[in-house]
Amino acid sequence: MASHRDERPAGQQQAEEPAEGLPPDERLGMDIKRAEQALIAAKQLAVRPAGLTVPQYAALFALADNPGISGAALARTCLVTPQAMTVVLKNLEERGLVERSPHPWHRNVLETRLTEAGHAALATADARAVRIERALADEFTPEERAQLRKLLERCGAAIGRAAAGL
Partner DNA sequence: GGCACATTATCAAAATCTTGATGACTATCA
Partner DNA sequence: TGATAGTCATCAAGATTTTGATAATGTGCC
Q: Looking only at residues 124 through 153 of this chain, which bind DNA when binding is defined by CB under 7 A?
A: none
Nearer to DNA, 78 or 126 (CB): 78
Provide the CB-side half-sphere exposure for 39 (13 A, CA): 12
Nearer to its own copies, 91 or 117 (CB): 117
Phi, psi at residue 11, to the nearest 5°? -65, -75
Q: Looking only at residues 19 through 78 of this chain, which bind DNA when binding is defined by CB under 7 A?
A: 53, 55-56, 70-73
Q: Does residue 89 touch its own copies according to CB under 8 A?
A: no
Contact 57, 43 (CB under 8 A): yes
Which of DNA, its own copies, none sits in contact with 122, Cβ below 5 to 8 A by type? Answer: its own copies
Q: Who's near 14: CB < 8 A, 6+ residues apart?
A: none
CA distance 144 to 137: 10
Q: Does residue 88 touch DNA according to CB under 7 A?
A: yes
Q: Does residue 143 touch its own copies according to CB under 8 A?
A: no
Which of DNA, its own copies, none sits in contact with 17, Cβ below 5 to 8 A by type? Answer: its own copies
Single-letter code of the amino acid located at 5: R
Which of its own copies, DNA, none sits in contact with 3, Cβ below 5 to 8 A by type? Answer: DNA
Q: Does residue 106 touch its own copies according to CB under 8 A?
A: no
Member of 55, 64, 100, 115 binding its own copies (CB under 8 A): 64
Which of its own copies, DNA, none sits in contact with 134, Cβ below 5 to 8 A by type? Answer: its own copies
Contact 55, 134 (CB under 8 A): no
Classify residue 32 by burial, with Cβ atoms within 10 Å: 0-12, 13-18, 19+: middle
Nearer to DNA, 70 or 98 (CB): 70
Contact 96, 117 (CB under 8 A): yes
Member of 9, 26, 141, 143 binding its own copies (CB under 8 A): 26
CA distance 56 to 61: 8
